[in-house]
Amino acid sequence: MTSDLQTIATILETEPVIFQLLKQCPYEILRMIRVRCYRDGEFELAEGRVHHHFYIIVRGEVDIYSESEYGKKYFLTTYHTGNFIGEMEIFQQLPYISHVQGRGQVTVLELERSLLLRWMSLDQNFNRLFIQKICESSYQMCERMKRNNLYNLKQRICYYLLEQFDLRNQRDIIWNSEEMSQKMAVTQRSVNRVLKELREQGIIYLSQGKIHLINRSKLETLLR
């Protein structure tokens, strides 16, 4: 058994989401999958270029964003365990529509295009989950587009805060004005202005790089 196969065996024991994807993967495919581990900032796939591999995130977080010719970033989403990278471009070998950047340490499964196509021809379970994940991503993208078009900046920030509090199941989150401005595609000044308003309304409290939730019901009311 190769070192990659041994590592994959360990991953299947410890990562239920990855196990569901690979549980019916034929051995001829499994033995060709490569495990890649990256340190903070090393995993990066440039927007506008053709990349010849398909990736499945095993551990870590990966930010997906677009960047203008002047360097302004527009944040799209963050991928986690079980998310795919390159699924939209790999079939026609198109340039990546977005920039991919790992945040912290990232572990991925890497497959060449021909191997992915072979896997899909042999594994009905993977095909089903592949289609399901693409549908989920499309739905989430439509939701984001709806929020961006129908909600003003204050409402979008409120929605983002609620989403982050729920994701971490905590009443405080770490925040950075530059990062949040990229997520909202606005200036840091605009983000700071909205957060100041929420603080003055007694909804949140800001201290030492953290946002503390004080009144959730008021925050939810602003979305109506």
Segments in 15-123 forming alpha helices (H): 16-22, 27-30, 113-122
State whether 104 and 197 are in the same domain.
Answer: no
Domain end point (choices 148, 170, 200): 148
Count of structural domains within the chain? 2
**pLDDT value of residue 211:** 93
User: Which H or E run includes 42?
Assistant: none
State whether 67 and 178 are in the same domain.
Answer: no
State whether 136 and 177 are in the same domain.
Answer: no
State whether 84 and 191 are in the same domain.
Answer: no
- Spatial distance between the Cα atoms of 203 and 66, rounded to a whole number of angstroms: 31
State whether 138 and 156 are in the same domain.
Answer: no
Cα dihedral 43, 49, 52, 55, rounded to 10, equals 40
Beta bridge partners of 59: 107
**pLDDT value of residue 141:** 82
**pLDDT value of residue 144:** 79
**CB 83 within 8 Å of CB 15:** no
State whether 163 and 206 are in the same domain.
Answer: yes
**pLDDT value of residue 2:** 62
Q: Specify the CATH number for the domain of residue 74.
A: 2.60.120.10
Of 58, 66, 65, nearest to 105 (Cα)?
Answer: 58
Q: Are strands 34-38 and 53-67 parallel, antiparallel or unpaired?
A: unpaired
Would you write out the chain's pLDDT as a tens digit for each of its 224 residues? Answer: 567 999 999 999 999 999 999 999 999 999 999 999 999 989 999 999 999 999 999 999 999 988 777 667 788 888 999 999 999 999 999 999 999 999 999 999 999 999 999 999 999 999 999 999 999 988 988 887 787 778 889 998 998 899 888 877 778 888 888 888 877 878 889 999 999 999 999 999 998 889 999 999 999 999 88
DSSP 221: H
